[in-house]
Structure 1
Amino acid sequence: MFPLFRVVSTLFIGSLQCDRCPLEFWSNTNRTACDPRQLDFLSFNETLGIALTTAAVFGAKVTTVVFVVFISYRQTPVVRANNSELSFLLLVSLKLCFLCSLVFIGRPSVWSCRFQQAAFGISFVLCVSCLQIKTMVVLAAFRSTRPGAETFIKWFGPSQQRGSVCLLTCVQIIICTVWLSLSPPEPKRDLGFQGSKVTLQCAMASVVGFSLVLGYIGLLACTCLLLAFLARKLPDNFNEAKLITFSMLIFCAVWVAFVPAYISSPGKYSVAVEIFAILASSYGLLLCIFAPKCFIILLRPERNTKKHLMGR
């Protein structure tokens, strides 16, 4: 007999009668009674949750170490030549990306369902915005050597850079605010045929809102990739564009693969897929952009000189 049914023995007739259990119940081992289904969600105590939590915490710690290294060597040419202020803001946003993945783990609640998507969307827009402005500054710096470039370069001063990052991030904040105000995701029990367990997950009441959040991130990422690709052949002292190009290729590849994987993953595994995409893209940005610089700062200090940078 199927576990969805309980078997009742009829003594007088000598036959068996099967009664369907309610949706939130499941037949016991002996098929004599209906027991409540267990709630199933991505927990901090299970193996998958522990692995994802470890990866997120480790990424946040590595980002903190890189931040300390950059603070300690902030007066050196490698740090100063690559727009140190945006680099610090980028490191902060990457740490937020790692930490926001932890909100997806644990029992879903009304506030966690709303906060996790907002934190994810805003953190990644802040991160990609920093990369986009850094790339535009690289292009502006190269054009500054041409005649009549004063008008062009004045739009890329420190205050303009901070304002551009804030403006791009505010657009995502508005999208998230409207989405979460009108039709926010809420915890919902999946009573489909999932065995003896009921999946508790954050259900998207509005697919349009989530699509707009992802679409805006994708738009900024594609724009940043295009700008970095155009700047990849500039002189070597502006070679951060090469690092940004490679990092954005990884970023875009991860999120393109995320969409079909997220749609096809059942229950709590869709949450695990989203966390994995967040961590994979965050690690890709951190390693591609900051690992070469930390290598020079810590292991090749003879290359961390103005003469070496200008002579390349």
Structure 2
Amino acid sequence: MSKNYQQVLALVFAVEKINKDPHFLPNISLGFRLYDNNYNGGQTYENVISLLSERDKLTLIPPPLYGYESYYGYGQPSYNMMGTEDAEKVTIFPNYNCQGHKKMVAVIGGLTSESSVQMANMLDVYKLPQIHSVLKKTHFNNSAVEDAFLNGTGELAMYDILNWIQLDNGSLVSVNVGEVTLHSTKNYSIAINEKMTLWNGKFIQPPHSVCSNKCLPGFHKMPLKANPKCCFQCTECPKGAISNQSDMDFCMKCKEDFYPNKARNKCILKSITFLSYTEPLGIVSVSIALYSFLLSALVLAMFIKHRDSAIVKANNRHLSYILLSSLMLCFLCSLLFIGQPRKMTCLLRQTAFGIIFSVSLATILAKTITVVLAFKATKPGSGTRKWLRPRLSYFFIMVCSLIQAVICIVWLGTSPPFPDADFYSEPGHIILECNESSPAALYSILGYMGLLALVSFIVAFLARKLPDRFNEAKFITFSMLVFCTVWMAFIPTYLSTKGKYMVAVEIFSILTSGVGLLGCIFLPKSYVILLHLDRNQKVQITSKYFHK
């Protein structure tokens, strides 16, 4: 082929150039032998044996012919061309060489890697080195006035692209449809004539030279074990990560304030969310809280107006005033949970709720104890009348509330709540919330309120059948049952929700338990005061009320 012939001329030119210049290799002349194996493995092995052996006859034939042979050694080199018509006159004597003045220093590999491996198998026995290049990184014009480039391994960086076509008779022919040219170590060009390219009937376009399909944006390449590196499977980017290009080896994680879109090929800015006054859930919560506050205020005003009536006086009207006032504050404290969390609201909302509700529960417990003591005081010779003084009830309420206040002060002093942002609970949202900082302190507040409610429930349950016309122990029992049920359901619901819905659950529990106390304790009294004045009369407790 013409290009192989050009490569031979390049080698001859280089050797002659070195031999003519005394400064390159003084007193040493280079020579070479060149063999053509016709891309045949058997011929390659025979050529190697010939190279390693002496011959009994050398025939000089004028060039140019099919094969080339040249000798190298000391002194002037001789170039011998061996033609096919003289091949039968040559006799090979393996392992015999009588020309001691010629020394073999190296063997250049074949044009293909296959022939080079075949040569190496035999040269290794004789410990002869095999090289793949004479000139490296050399750029020159060949005899066809074409640019030629020898890369770092000494290989000519020009490659033909062949299209193998199967004919009707079953034979294969190759058609040169393009060329790859390496202009430099980092610059190359590919030229393909698509019109000359014929494809198999199964292909309608050039096939991909990979064993896996391209990974689209939103996916990344996952290597397959026991497979080549070019074989992979496309795996969707994990949660919180994206890939915005094809065939990415890994996905990029979005920043904290961004989240992936549905296709996971783009990061989108998260929206800020919290339970606000303007959204439906916030409007409903505020409406219920204000309505309950106004209802409590009306009941308080009614009790003050009818403070001298029998039903108001019989149930310790001063404790009723305290209970109604604390319930009004309970409804208002629920408003602290609505709106964007601030430092002050985070500090106050749980502590205010805990202390105010403790006052309400302590007042209910004091009212229940008062009912029991009042019944025992009616018995002849009873010494419990001294415990019915109002100051003792106030002192009891103050002590119970003070215990809750101490818990809250310790919480604020050691690990106070603070405004925080949750980036991960809800995809696409940044939740502004109050970080309670110490769950143990919060559950201590709830646990203490539960203790007060449980004691009130037990005492009221035991006193529910006392023969008093104005006995409210039954109503207190039912109100404590509602209160305990609400807060027992609150804890698992609170822990299973996130974001603003967690806040809404607590607001609902506060309002529901407060309305339960207001309705169960004061609704029956209000009914009597407003609609049955005949029953709101002072009646002397006589033995007929002890019929049970």
Q: Shorter-chain TM-score: what band? A: over 0.9
Equivalent residues of 1:138, 1:238 under 8 A apart: no
Equivalent residues of 2:309, 2:537 under 8 A apart: yes
1:307 aligns with 2:539: yes
The partner residue of 2:451 within 209, 219, 231 is 219
Equivalent residue number for residue 324 of structure 2: 91
The partner residue of 1:164 within 373, 384, 396 is 396
What is the CA-CA distance between 1:156 and the residue it aligns to? 2.6
2:437 is paired with a residue whose SS is coil
Alignment length (residue pairs): 307
Provide the C-alpha distance between the structure 1 equivalents of 2:514 and 2:420, rounded to a whole number of angstroms: 29
Greater Cα offset, 62-71 or 188-197: 188-197
Equivalent residues of 1:228, 1:242 under 8 A apart: yes
Which residue type is aligned with residue 428 of structure 2? S
**1:192-249 Cα distance to aligned partner (Å, 9 max, x none):** 1522111111122111111110111011000000000010010132420011001000
The structure where strand makes up a greater share of residues is 2
* Structure 1 spans left out of the alignment, 5+ residues: none
Equivalent residue number for residue 292 of structure 2: 59
The structure where helix makes up a greater share of residues is 1
**1:102-157 Cα distance to aligned partner (Å, 9 max, x none):** 1001111121111000111011100001100000000000110224423x221230
Which residue type is aligned with residue 140 of structure 1? L
The partner residue of 1:136 within 361, 369, 372 is 369
1:255 is paired with a residue whose SS is helix
1:218 is paired with a residue whose SS is helix
Equivalent residue number for residue 339 of structure 2: 106
What is the CA-CA distance between 1:8 and the residue it aligns to? 2.9
Q: TM-score, normalised by structure 2?
A: 0.54
**1:169-210 Cα distance to aligned partner (Å, 9 max, x none):** 111111101111111122221121522111111122111111
Equivalent residue number for residue 8 of structure 1: 244
- Residues 170/193 of structure 1: CA separation in 2 closer, same or farther (3 Å cut): closer
- Residues 266/159 of structure 1: CA separation in 2 closer, same or farther (3 Å cut): same
Equivalent residue number for residue 282 of structure 2: 49
Provide the C-alpha distance between the structure 2 equivalents of 1:119 and 1:223, rounded to a whole number of angstroms: 22
1:123 aligns with 2:359: no
Indicate the RMSD between aligned Cα atoms, in angstroms. 2.0
Provide the C-alpha distance between the structure 1 equivalents of 2:425 and 2:399, rounded to a whole number of angstroms: 46
- Residues 178/290 of structure 1: CA separation in 2 closer, same or farther (3 Å cut): same
Which residue type is aligned with residue 415 of structure 2? S
1:58 is paired with a residue whose SS is helix
Q: Please show how residues 1-312 of structure 1 align to structure 2 within 5 Å.
A: 1=218, 4-9=240-245, 18-27=251-260, 34-150=267-383, 152-307=384-539
What is the CA-CA distance between 1:34 and the residue it aligns to? 3.4
* Structure 2 spans left out of the alignment, 5+ residues: 1-217, 219-236
Equivalent residues of 2:425, 2:499 under 8 A apart: no
What is the CA-CA distance between 1:300 and the residue it aligns to? 1.1
Provide the C-alpha distance between the structure 2 equivalents of 1:255 and 1:24, rounded to a whole number of angstroms: 35
Equivalent residues of 1:37, 1:197 under 8 A apart: yes
Which residue type is aligned with residue 125 of structure 1? S
Provide the C-alpha distance between the structure 2 equivalents of 1:136 and 1:224, rounded to a whole number of angstroms: 8
Provide the C-alpha distance between the structure 2 equivalents of 1:85 and 1:72, rounded to a whole number of angstroms: 13
What is the CA-CA distance between 1:7 and the residue it aligns to? 4.7
Which residue type is aligned with residue 426 of structure 2? Q
What is the CA-CA distance between 1:16 and the residue it aligns to? 6.5
Equivalent residues of 1:57, 1:99 under 8 A apart: yes
What is the CA-CA distance between 1:266 and the residue it aligns to? 1.4
Percent identity of the aligned residues? 43
Which residue type is aligned with residue 8 of structure 1? N
Which residue type is aligned with residue 55 of structure 1? I
Provide the C-alpha distance between the structure 1 equivalents of 2:491 and 2:506, rounded to a whole number of angstroms: 9
Provide the C-alpha distance between the structure 2 equivalents of 1:227 and 1:272, rounded to a whole number of angstroms: 32
1:237 is paired with a residue whose SS is coil
Q: TM-score, normalised by structure 1?
A: 0.92
1:235 is paired with a residue whose SS is coil
Provide the C-alpha distance between the structure 1 equivalents of 2:381 and 2:445, rounded to a whole number of angstroms: 39
2:464 is paired with a residue whose SS is coil
1:234 is paired with a residue whose SS is coil
Provide the C-alpha distance between the structure 2 equivalents of 1:260 and 1:276, rounded to a whole number of angstroms: 14
1:236 is paired with a residue whose SS is coil
